[in-house]
A and B are shown apart, each in its own frame.
Chain A
Amino acid sequence: MNVTVKYFAVCHEMLDRSEEEMELPDGATVRTILKRLEEEWPEIAEFYEVMQMSVNWEYATENTELTEGDEVALIPPVTGGCDV
């Protein structure tokens, strides 16, 4: 199956791209993507504890199963608004 993976903020910067298509085996989960990214960017594992993932604009877990055409995103800790 093919899914789109989006990267924002610090992830965008570290991976030097904002999105990509990934071909994944049947039965793949969010974890499958994280494992693949670790090969390219080992330090990303340190971010997993604070980072969230989304699938089709909804927060997901590492165990969330993926299907063809899903839009997955790595969500670093959000910091919108202002500090008041």
Chain B
Amino acid sequence: MFKIITETITGEEVREAVEGPDAGAVVLFLGTVRNNTDGRPVKCLEYEAYPPMAEKKMAEIAQEISDQWGIDRVAMVHRVGKLEIGEVSVAVAVASPHRKDGFEACRYAMDRLKQIVPIWKREVWADGEAEWVKPDAVFFDAPKPHKTASQID
């Protein structure tokens, strides 16, 4: 499951998508809307995506995980539109035979999502201003197109 959606994300949808009898661990990551950025109060976030390309790139990340860890049970959904504080913007689930690989692969999936999946975030500040978020230096300078998890760290 690799989807851009407008509905509420609970995490259940990705967890169910990866479950299977060969799994000994399911790692579930939920990204949520925080009420501040570097101390500045945030009112809400607005996400925009290029859905067909975003879903294609998510599937490519899953392929990278399959190549690197041999894990084939990966699911990702990202919500777009206006999200209130505390709501889930992104969910990643990875099912693996053992937890170590699952944790690593889940982290890798999120790192890669922030590098290559065409999704953009607009911060609406509590004072009424709004701006498109610029990526941090790590990802801004990231070589294209591929990095491994160890290089990111």
Contact = CB atoms under 8 A, between A and B. Distances in A.
B50 A79 contact: no
Interface in B4-44: 31-34, 37
A10 interface: yes
Nearest to B131: A10
Interface string A44-61: 000000101010011100
Interface string B63-80: 000000000000000100
Contacts of B128: none
Contacts of A77: 134-135, 139-140
Contact of B118 (A13, A78, A84): A78
B98 interface: no
Contacts of B33: 82
Interface in B97-153: 110, 113-122, 132-136, 139-140, 144-145
A12 B31 CA distance: 25
A78 B120 contact: yes
A81 B89 contact: yes
B134 A78 contact: no
Contact of A82 (B50, B90, B145): B90
* Residue of A73, A76, A82 with most partner-chain B CB within 10 A: A82
Contacts of B144: 52, 59
A42 interface: no
A75 B50 CA distance: 9
B50 A80 contact: no
A6 interface: yes
Contact of A6 (B37, B50, B90, B122): B50
A9 B120 contact: yes
B117 to A, nearest CB: 5
Nearest to A76: B120
A83 interface: yes
Nearest to A54: B53
The 6 A-B pairs of least Cβ separation, nearest first, read A80-B119, A82-B31, A9-B120, A57-B53, A79-B133, A79-B121
13 contacts: A9-B132, A59-B116, A59-B144, A59-B145, A76-B132, A78-B114, A79-B132, A80-B78, A80-B90, A81-B110, A82-B32, A82-B33, A84-B31
